[in-house]
Amino acid sequence: AQKVTQAQTEISVVEKEDVTLDCVYETRDTTYYLFWYKQPPSGELVFLIRRNSFDEQNEISGRYSWNFQKSTSSFNFTITASQVVDSAVYFCALSETRDDKIIFGKGTRLHILP
Amino acid sequence: EPEVTQTPSHQVTQMGQEVILRCVPISNHLYFYWYRQILGQKVEFLVSFYNNEISEKSEIFDDQFSVERPDGSNFTLKIRSTKLEDSAMYFCASSERQGTELYGEQFFGPGTRLTVL
């Protein structure tokens, strides 16, 4: 069965610190997609990244980076030099190709303190 | 840049009333979805819709729920007799997936916050 686990419910760090959000997934498929979404206080879902299961290269986009490791079924997200505007709930998610619904983790609420 | 839109942004209704949440998907998309997020919880899949019929639905999507594409642009979610536990944010999404392709990016709308009193 497909499942996404975000063990960190809530994290608080001081601005400019680096922070890593953990994500572990379960799937029966060999082809699948992993996502990260940001949900700011305004409530919308902001797409951050999609990764397919065949591409284990790490990705960097500005202060954001993602580490995908199939061996540990993890897709972790790191924010470098965090800023107050990064405060939000972050969801890791999974989609298998057998169906295309997106399964979300429970989210990690990130507080960046000034 | 094309985007998914949803109306209203906030709907307040009395328990037992019917509500219709509206979505306008991106114009050339063929797959449509509804997701729900109860306050403080994760986003949950409700239903997917393709070629004027439901492709898949979750256990949450019971007989009180229905979806429709009444014209070429709107995609609606109807809740027949709302319950207190239906209070949530409802997100519509549409996908650029074409025909038998295995995957298409899902684009989410801004959500409709439903409050049932």
**For the segment A40-81, what is each residue's pLDDT rounded down to a tens digit?**
999 999 999 999 898 888 889 999 999 999 999 999 999 999
pLDDT in tens, B27-74: 888 899 999 999 999 999 999 999 899 999 999 999 999 999 988 789
Chain B's closest residue to A106, CA to CA, is B42
Asked whether B75 and B90 are in contact (CB, 8 A), the reply is no
Interface contact B103-A99, CB threshold 8 A: no
CA distance A63 to A82: 8
Which of B43, B97, B111 shows the shortest C-beta gap to A100?
A: B97
What are the C-alpha distances in Å from B8 to residues A47, B33, B45, B107?
Answer: 22, 17, 20, 18
Residue A109, pLDDT above cutoff 70:
yes
Measured distance between the N- and C-terminal CA atoms of chain B, rounded to whole angstroms: 37
Q: Are A87 and B44 in contact (CB under 8 A)?
A: no
Closest-CA distance, B111 to chain A, in angstroms, reads 6
pLDDT at residue B20, rounded to an integer: 97
Measured between CB atoms, which of A50, A100, A105 is closest to B95? A100
- Which residues in chain A have their CB less than 8 angstroms from residue B105's CB? 50
Residues of chain B neighbouring A35 (CB-CB closer than 8 A): none
Distance from the B84 Cα atom to the nearest Cα atom in chain A, whole angstroms: 20
Mean pLDDT of B94-98: 79
Token digits for B117?
Answer: 């009193």
Predicted confidence (pLDDT) per residue in B18-37, tens digit: 999 999 999 888 899 999 99
- Kindly identify which residue of chain A lies nearest to residue B104, measuring between CA atoms: A100
Q: Which of B41, B102, B105 is closest, CB to CB, to A97?
A: B102
Give the pLDDT mean for A92-102: 86
How many residues appear in chain A? 114
Could you tell me which residue, B103 or B90, shows the higher pLDDT?
B90
Question: Could you tell me if B79 and B10 are in contact, meaning their C-beta atoms sit under 8 angstroms apart?
Answer: no
pLDDT at B104 over 80: no
Say if residue B99's pLDDT is above 70: no
φ/ψ (deg, to 5) at B111: 95, 155
* E strands present in chain A: 3-5, 10-14, 19-21, 24-26, 32-39, 46-52, 59-61, 64-69, 74-79, 88-96, 103-104, 108-113
Q: Do A102 and B31 touch (CB under 8 A)?
A: no
Task: Write down the mean pLDDT value for chain A.
Answer: 94
- The pLDDT value recorded for residue B98 is 64
Per-residue pLDDT at B103 exceeds 70: no
Q: Is B110 on the interface with A (CB under 8 A)?
A: yes
Tokens of A102: 């997106």
Phi and psi at A72, nearest 5°, equal -115, 5
Asked if pLDDT for residue A90 goes beyond 70, the answer is yes
Taking an 8 Å cut-off on Cβ atoms, the answer to whether A95 and B35 are in contact is no
